């Protein structure tokens, strides 16, 4: 199957209405309501969903195991700690050498998000009652839960001597934020180090001498501030780093310098070295039109490694600081690098995955410029060979310097005969990005159901510079819907794709975008899958969690302004019910303090009142992330059956 380039002179869609006209998407009469079915299975409620097809579930099961291993940290004796994912479980293991048999350290009942091993003690973070919690296993004793409720936010940091763990979370009484230190030897309640932190903060690093903590105030997404706090107590002191978007920062292995990634003074994030004494900010990374995403510095300062996000793909560079030589590492391309760590020597540990390769761990010897795989490949991956993610660019509705603005997208083409039905996958997160990672469910949809999957990075996505990221802020929020419409025009010009059999799927912000796109371009679309989408943007902004109100106001506008509130209501799916006629699957976890669960159920009931099929899947034991293993399994089979059901319908029905 081939894809055709879009002739720019033929593109004239400057608004949703023009895109509708170009596609011939005319409103159709509402279809009659589907038969109603309701059943409860433990925490799961299936409303309006027919009994699940066991044959389809059996086919999906071959794609359910998600084999893969990711690097966690180097161990003092020279081996490494890794997390191996087996289905919905994660096993923590140690490796002593490349391809050596792993030794299991722990196998928590739920997937872990973070884990570290120090001096015979294991610490990890996993979900409990919908919240991430920190656990510590000292010696051979049972795991001890350190945090409760909403006390943990972000990633904990373990001191270099392995005796203490610092973490950021809710302050005493749940008000404001605070930093705590847990002493592994003493146990008991964590000690409050810094309290009264207003807004949203992150704990970034712990100095090698164990005396200082590096913090970031990230309340304003494009105006982050760095602070240093003494572990002994006292108010944090702000560093003289220019305010900017600072996704990561770390103490230098030697001395008091700080390495940081910042987009100060430019479109893209660069890697800098900051000297607190002189306040000198020295750029380390090369001047390329892509942003730095992560970095690592060897313990002796000889090597610096960093990756850039090149249109969704990671590109690794290692700098020999003594020779002033930058060395590209060419072997790991067309995928995503998820971890970099030099440990104590010059061996760089790397986590890598791609659309056709599950997560694995590699080690790059910087002295000899040799790359070695440390983890074994799984014996069997999927039922069929995985399909590659092909990067394409399509023109959208507006211009930049006289040329059509181009949008990036990743395309997975099925082996089935053309023209193929299409599933447009819209990423979660207001300023997130779709990247070519290992995604077995996409492989199932492509190989087993015969869909072509297209995942665009519409305006507002991260990875494409400060200006592109801001193009959907405030009054421009629904411009992202026009980008989806432009993609429909592009699909309509591809002989191998069937624009009249196209469905949309999104999670979170992507769910809102999918629903709004369906309301705008309803005519010949098959339907929508909305996973924990924002059905009411006014509620989403006004009921933001503590510390995220300013962030959401910057992205969506202040809902206390009547004109802004009216705009948010007009672009909210709850206000678009009359324009939505196609089948919809709504998936929502009911835990959490936000209003999203209530709004999603409200949307389902309003749509069901006099519209087409509405499937509603809810889970009482999980939040918006649908993280419980049984819930995720139910989500996958329900989505698969919904897509199969859409294929049985005639376009326009």
Q: Which residues of 200-234 are buried (b: 16+ CB within 10 A; e: fewer)?
A: bbbbbbbbbeeebbbbbbbbbbbebbbbbbebeee
Q: Which helix (H) or strand (E) holds 123?
A: strand 121-128
Q: Does the pLDDT value for residue 247 go beyond 60?
A: yes
Question: On the CB side of 421, how many CA atoms lie within 13 Å of its CA?
Answer: 25
Q: What is the pLDDT of residues 128-169, one digit of tens each?
A: 776 789 999 887 778 889 998 878 888 999 998 888 999 998
What confidence tier does 8 reach under pLDDT thresholds 50, 70, 90? Answer: very low
What token pair was written down for 653?
């029905």
Where are the strands (E) in 561-613, listed by range? 584-589
pLDDT for the residue numbered 31: 42
Q: Give 226's contacts (C-beta < 8 A, 6+ positions apart).
A: 214, 215, 216, 238, 239, 241, 246, 249, 258, 260
pLDDT for the residue numbered 621: 87
What confidence tier does 2 reach under pLDDT thresholds 50, 70, 90? Answer: low
How do 370-373 and 201-206 pair as beta strands? unpaired
Q: What is the mean pLDDT of residues 469-489?
A: 96
pLDDT for the residue numbered 612: 64
Q: What is the pLDDT of residues 567-609, one digit of tens each?
A: 999 999 998 888 888 999 999 999 866 688 899 999 999 998 8
Where are the strands (E) in 286-389, listed by range? 291-297, 303-310, 313-320, 325-329, 335-341, 347-354, 357-365, 370-373
Peptide bond into 419 cis (omega under 30): yes
pLDDT for the residue numbered 649: 76
Q: What is the mean pLDDT of residues 506-534?
A: 93
Question: On the CB side of 490, how many CA atoms lie within 13 Å of its CA?
Answer: 26
Q: Does the pLDDT value for residue 233 go beyond 90?
A: no
Q: Which helix (H) or strand (E) holds 555?
A: helix 549-556
Interatomic CA distance for residues 653 and 646, integer angstroms: 10
* Helix pair angle (440-447, 629-647), 10° resolution: 20
Interatomic CA distance for residues 564 and 473, integer angstroms: 12
pLDDT for the residue numbered 554: 85
pLDDT for the residue numbered 26: 38
Sheet containing 103-106, strands listed edge to edge, beginning at the edge strand earlier in sequence? 68-74, 80-86, 89-95, 103-106
Interatomic CA distance for residues 544 and 651, integer angstroms: 39
Provide the sign of the torsion angle of the four alpha carbons 643, 645, 651, 653, taken in this order: negative
pLDDT for the residue numbered 32: 42
What confidence tier does 90 reach under pLDDT thresholds 50, 70, 90? Answer: confident
What token pair was written down for 128?
């409990």
What are the φ and ψ backbone dihedral angles of 495, each rounded to 5 degrees? -65, -20
Average pLDDT along the chain? 88
What confidence tier does 255 reach under pLDDT thresholds 50, 70, 90? Answer: confident
Q: What is the mean pLDDT of residues 551-556?
A: 87
Interatomic CA distance for residues 328 and 348, integer angstroms: 14
Interatomic CA distance for residues 52 and 47, integer angstroms: 12
Domains, the chain, in order of start with CATH, read 8-63+382-536+572-647 (3.40.50.1820)
Helices and strands in the chain: count of H runs, count of E runs: 11, 38
Interatomic CA distance for residues 627 and 621, integer angstroms: 9
In order, the DSSP letters of 310-326 are: ETTEEEEEEEETTTTEE
Higher-scoring residue by pLDDT: 151, 448: 448
Q: What is the mean pLDDT of residues 2-29?
A: 46
Q: Give 160's contacts (C-beta < 8 A, 6+ positions apart).
A: 206, 208, 209, 210
pLDDT for the residue numbered 181: 95
Burial of 181 (0-12, 13-18, 19+ CB in 10 A): buried
% the chain with pLDDT above 70: 91
What confidence tier does 27 reach under pLDDT thresholds 50, 70, 90? Answer: very low
pLDDT for the residue numbered 477: 94
Burial of 367 (0-12, 13-18, 19+ CB in 10 A): exposed
Question: On the CB side of 430, how many CA atoms lie within 13 Å of its CA?
Answer: 21
Q: What is the pLDDT of residues 334-353, one digit of tens each?
A: 999 999 999 889 999 999 99
Q: Does the pLDDT value for residue 104 go beyond 50?
A: yes
What token pair was written down for 134?
């920190």
Q: What is the mean pLDDT of residues 474-494?
A: 96
Q: Are 637 and 630 in contact (CB under 8 A)?
A: no
* CA-to-CA dists, residue 575 to 398, 580, 602, angstroms: 26, 10, 11
**What DSSP character marks residue 243?**
P
Sole residue written with tokens 């004239």: 12
What confidence tier does 326 reach under pLDDT thresholds 50, 70, 90? Answer: very high
- Spatial CA neighbour of 293 closest among 273, 316, 320: 316
Least confident range from 47-56, 224-233, 486-495, 544-553: namely 544-553
Interatomic CA distance for residues 332 and 350, integer angstroms: 10
- Spatial CA neighbour of 132 closest among 117, 157, 116, 154: 154
Burial of 472 (0-12, 13-18, 19+ CB in 10 A): buried
């Amino acid at each position: 199957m081939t894809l055709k380039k879009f002739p720019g002179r033929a593109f004239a869609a400057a608004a949703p209405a023009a895109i509708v006209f170009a596609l011939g998407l005319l409103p159709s009469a509402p279809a009659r309501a589907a038969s109603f079915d309701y059943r409860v299975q433990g925490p799961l409620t299936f409303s309006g969903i027919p009994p699940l097809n066991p044959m389809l579930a059996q086919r999906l099961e071959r794609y359910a195991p998600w084999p893969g291993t990711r690097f966690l940290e180097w161990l003092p004796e020279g081996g490494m700690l890794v997390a191996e994912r087996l289905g919905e479980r994660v096993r923590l293991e140690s490796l002593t050498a490349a391809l050596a048999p792993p030794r299991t350290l722990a196998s928590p009942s739920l997937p872990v998000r973070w884990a570290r091993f120090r001096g015979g003690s294991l610490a990890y973070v996993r979900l409990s009652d919908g919240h991430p919690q920190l656990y510590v296993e000292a010696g051979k004793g049972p795991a001890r839960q350190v945090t409760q409720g909403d006390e943990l936010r972000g990633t904990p940091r373990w001191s270099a001597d392995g005796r203490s763990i610092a973490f950021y979370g809710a302050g005493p009484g749940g008000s404001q934020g605070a930093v705590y230190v847990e002493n592994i030897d003493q146990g008991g309640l964590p000690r409050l180090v810094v309290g009264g932190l207003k807004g949203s903060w992150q704990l970034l690093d712990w100095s090698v001498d164990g005396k200082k903590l590096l913090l970031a105030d990230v309340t304003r997404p494009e105006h982050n501030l760095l602070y240093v706090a003494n572990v002994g107590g006292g108010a944090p002191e702000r560093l003289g780093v220019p305010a900017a978007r600072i996704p990561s920062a770390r103490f230098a292995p030697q001395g008091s310098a700080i390495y940081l990634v910042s987009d100060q003074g430019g479109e893209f994030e660069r890697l800098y070295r900051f000297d607190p004494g002189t306040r000198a900010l020295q750029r380390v990374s090369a001047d390329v039109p892509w942003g730095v995403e992560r970095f690592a510095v060897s313990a002796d300062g000889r090597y610096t490694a960093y990756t850039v996000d090149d249109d969704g793909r990671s590109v690794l560079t290692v700098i020999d600081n003594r020779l002033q030589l930058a060395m590209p590492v060419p072997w790991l391309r067309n995928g995503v690098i998820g971890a970099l760590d030099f440990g104590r020597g010059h061996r760089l540990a790397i986590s890598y995955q791609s659309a056709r390769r599950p997560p694995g761990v590699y080690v790059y010897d910087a002295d000899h410029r040799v790359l070695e795989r440390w983890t074994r490949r799984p014996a069997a991956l999927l039922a069929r060979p995985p399909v590659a993610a092909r990067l394409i660019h399509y023109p959208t509705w507006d211009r930049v310097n006289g040329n059509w603005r181009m949008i990036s997208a990743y395309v997975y083409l099925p082996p089935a005969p053309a023209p193929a039905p299409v599933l447009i996958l819209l990423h979660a997160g207001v300023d997130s990005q779709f990247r070519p990672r290992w995604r077995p469910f996409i492989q199932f949809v492509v190989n087993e159901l015969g869909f072509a999957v297209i995942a665009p990075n519409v305006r507002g996505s991260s990875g494409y510079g400060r200006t592109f990221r801001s193009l959907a802020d405030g009054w421009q929020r629904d411009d992202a819907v026009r980008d989806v419409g432009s993609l429909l025009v592009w699909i309509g010009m591809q002989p191998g794709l069937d624009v009249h059999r196209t469905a949309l799927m999104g999670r979170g912000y992507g769910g809102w975008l999918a629903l709004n796109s369906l309301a705008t371009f309803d005519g010949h679309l098959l339907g929508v899958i909305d996973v924990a989408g924002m059905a009411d943007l006014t509620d989403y902004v006004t009921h933001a969690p503590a510390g995220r109100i300013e962030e959401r106001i910057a992205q969506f506008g202040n809902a206390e302004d009547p004109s802004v509130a009216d705009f948010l209501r007009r672009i909210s799916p709850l206000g678009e019910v009359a324009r939505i006629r196609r089948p919809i699957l709504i998936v929502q976890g009911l835990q959490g303090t936000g209003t999203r669960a209530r709004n999603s159920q409200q949307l389902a009931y309003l749509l069901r009142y006099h519209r087409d099929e509405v499937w509603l899947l809810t889970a009482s034991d999980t939040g918006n992330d649908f993280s419980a293993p049984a819930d995720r399994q139910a989500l996958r089979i329900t989505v698969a059956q919904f897509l199969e059901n859409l294929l049985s319908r005639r376009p326009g029905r």
